[in-house]
């Protein structure tokens, strides 16, 4: 796949290929595949861990596998004729964990998944895979230190491009004693080898809410320690409130979650914990001393929280450490800035995609950026223009779709009403009770949910949409299309939803917009 190495002394050899991608997650895979598709160009992915990345083994895929049984259990318990079949019986935790292992390719008795299937895909797509830690050592030049073994470093020179796709890493607050307590991160909680009896979760965002959902459904006593006054701070307030209410209430087969708003941990204490692999119990309880965070009027709690495990879900940061950015004149402390082509200005042949850019840390957005990036690299290699829209990943992309797979789900795209107004938009919102929609009410007894659109009154188009309720994720793509396409509300009026489906919410929302005078007077 690459040219044969040529010796440069005893410790380093030099190879050449057309495109080098640092990072083998979904963004890196897509960038490499698009850059060489339908051509004789060569690409090399440099990956120190597993091809497939965080998403495949420790994030998106395993978390959804862990969450879905709880969602099915919740739906069944709310359907007469089915409720009696499931009763109050809990989930079969061992079976749930075994199914997760089958999805991530983790062999029995192993802590690390097997990525051989992903490697076969890469090589089948004409992409070489090199195991090791890669860093820039010059323009379009990468040095790779082997992940294992005693072999020397290899230098790979890229004829066309180097793509940075190293993703992100969990951020650990500087709480005294916390690092020494060896807390779990998102990687551990998705890879857990057994369900802890009790868990303290630091954070109130997407990872924290999803983890609290599956842990409580699998039998853990969960306490969430949240600095702010709400969950899911990036969404419309009603979405976080619905998720918080559901977590606190618990339900058949699911334990109630204790949520401490306006609270922060200021110290952690735990007996000596031996080194262990992802998801392995620490073997000793953790004690967190907590105090009010002083966050607005959120109140707060003081005292101690003890648990078998503590999960830190306090955000992620771009993985730029050790990338050698300084070798090409970039600040090694910050994510590389990119233009609309995902190229790094001022450094010829250097691109960056996915979480490492700090733009939108979501797998689907990283893959979107990677598709653009790969197409740009291919076009430039072939001397073709890159002015068309598909060669531009909007740096200010506001229609970023996000789904939180709690029960109820929360899903949103575009701007919240507050952010739209802060941006100077004459924003007006309309909302409907999803429980009043026939298609939703048919799904389960006591269906609770809400949908909201944010409208730019001056242009008559949507700039944001939020849905909260069971299975609302399937409503989101239509909203994303409407926001990205800037479809006028008057035109959306003619998109007739099928009856009886939850999508009938779109008709009710547009009726609310008409009543508010947001559709053309005619």
CA 57, CA 110: separation in Å to the nearest integer? 13
CA 173, CA 316: separation in Å to the nearest integer? 11
Each residue of 118-167: pLDDT tens digit? 999 999 999 999 999 999 999 999 999 987 765 789 999 999 999 999 99
pLDDT at 150: 57
At which residue do the structure tokens 């708003």 appear?
A: 261
pLDDT at 105: 92
The pair of three-digit structure tokens given for residue 384, joined into one six-digit string: 């073709």
* DSSP label at residue 17: E
Compute how many other C-beta atoms are within 10 angstroms of the C-beta atom of residue 200. Answer: 28
Strand partners, 154: 13, 144
pLDDT at 7: 46
Ranges of residues in the chain whose predicted pLDDT is under 70: 1-11, 149-150, 296, 395-397, 521-522
pLDDT at 1: 43
The pair of three-digit structure tokens given for residue 342, joined into one six-digit string: 């995902």
CA 158, CA 128: separation in Å to the nearest integer? 13
Alpha helices in 178-322 (DSSP H): 186-190, 206-217, 237-249
Each residue of 316-363: pLDDT tens digit? 999 999 999 999 999 999 999 999 999 999 999 999 999 999 988 999
Pick out the residues of the known binding site for FAD.
64, 134, 166-168, 355
User: Sheet containing 258-260: which strands, arranged edge to edge?
Assistant: 258-260, 221-225, 198-202, 309-312
Alpha carbons within 13 A on the beta-carbon side of 338 = 31
The pair of three-digit structure tokens given for residue 417, joined into one six-digit string: 């009403």
* DSSP label at residue 308: S
pLDDT at 304: 97
CA 325, CA 350: separation in Å to the nearest integer? 11
Go through the domains of the chain in sequence order and give each one's CATH number. Answer: 6-52+115-169+318-382 (3.50.50.60), 56-104 (no CATH), 186-314 (3.50.50.60), 402-515 (3.30.390.30)
Pick out the residues of the known binding site for NAD(+).
203-210, 315
CA 233, CA 238: separation in Å to the nearest integer? 10
Pick out the residues of the known binding site.
64, 134, 166-168, 203-210, 315, 355
Please check whether residue 391 is in contact with residue 373, taking contact to mean a CB–CB distance below 8 angstroms: no
CA 252, CA 78: separation in Å to the nearest integer? 9
Q: Is 338 exposed, middle or buried (0-12, 13-18, 19+ CB in 10 A)?
A: buried
pLDDT at 3: 54
């Amino acid at each position: 796949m690459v040219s044969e190495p040529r010796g440069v002394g005893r410790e380093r050899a030099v190879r050449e290929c057309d495109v080098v991608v640092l990072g083998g997650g979904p963004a890196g895979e897509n960038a490499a595949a698009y850059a060489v598709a339908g051509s004789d160009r060569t690409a090399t992915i440099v990956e120190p861990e597993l091809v497939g990345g965080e998403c495949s083994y420790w994030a998106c895929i395993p978390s959804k596998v862990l969450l879905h049984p709880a969602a099915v259990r919740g739906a069944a318990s709310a359907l007469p004729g089915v409720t009696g079949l499931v009763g109050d019986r809990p989930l079969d935790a061992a079976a749930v964990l075994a199914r997760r292992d089958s999805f991530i390719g983790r062999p029995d008795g192993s802590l690390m998944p097997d990525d051989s299937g992903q490697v076969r895909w890469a090589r089948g797509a004409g992409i070489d895979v090199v195991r090791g830690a890669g860093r820039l050592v010059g323009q379009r030049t990468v040095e790779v230190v082997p992940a294992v073994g005693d072999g020397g470093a290899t230098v790979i020179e890229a004829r066309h491009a180097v793509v940075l796709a190293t993703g992100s890493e969990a951020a650990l607050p500087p709480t005294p004693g916390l690092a020494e307590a060896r807390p779990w991160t998102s990687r551990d909680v998705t890879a857990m080898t057994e369900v802890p009896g009790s868990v303290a979760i630091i954070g109130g965002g997407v990872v924290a809410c999803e983890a609290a959902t599956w842990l409580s459904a699998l039998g853990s006593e969960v306490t969430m320690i949240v600095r702010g006054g709400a969950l899911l701070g990036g969404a419309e307030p009603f979405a976080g409130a619905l998720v918080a209410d559901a977590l606190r209430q618990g339900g058949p087969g699911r334990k109630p979650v204790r949520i401490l708003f306006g609270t922060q941990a200021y110290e952690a204490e735990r007996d000596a914990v031996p080194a262990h692999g992802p998801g392995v119990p620490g073997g000793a309880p953790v004690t967190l001393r907590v105090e009010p965070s002083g966050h607005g009027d959120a109140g707060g709690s003081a005292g101690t929280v003890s648990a078998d495990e503590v999960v830190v879900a306090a955000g992620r940061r771009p993985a730029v450490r050790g990338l050698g950015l300084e070798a090409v004149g970039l600040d090694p402390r910050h994510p590389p800035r990119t233009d609309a082509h995902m190229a790094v200005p001022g450094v010829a042949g250097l691109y960056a995609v996915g979480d490492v850019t700090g733009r939108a840390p979501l797998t689907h957005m990283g893959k979107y950026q990677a598709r653009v990036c790969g197409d740009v690299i291919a076009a430039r290699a072939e001397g073709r223009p890159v002015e068309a829209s598909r060669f531009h990943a909007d740096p200010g992309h506001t229609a970023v779709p996000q789904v939180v797979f709690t029960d109820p789900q929360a899903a949103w795209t575009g701007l919240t009403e507050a952010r739209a107004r802060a941006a100077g938009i004459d924003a007006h919102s309309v909302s409907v009770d999803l429980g009043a929609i026939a298609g939703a009410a048919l799904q389960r007894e006591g269906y609770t949910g809400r949908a909201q659109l944010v409208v730019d009154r001056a242009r008559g188009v949507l700039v944001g949409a939020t849905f909260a309720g069971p299975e609302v994720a399937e409503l989101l793509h239509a909203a994303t299309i409407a926001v990205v396409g800037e479809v006028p509300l008057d035109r959306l009026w003619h998109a007739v939803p099928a009856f009886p489906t939850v999508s009938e919410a779109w008709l009710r929302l547009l009726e609310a917009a008409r009543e508010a005078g947001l559709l053309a007077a005619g």
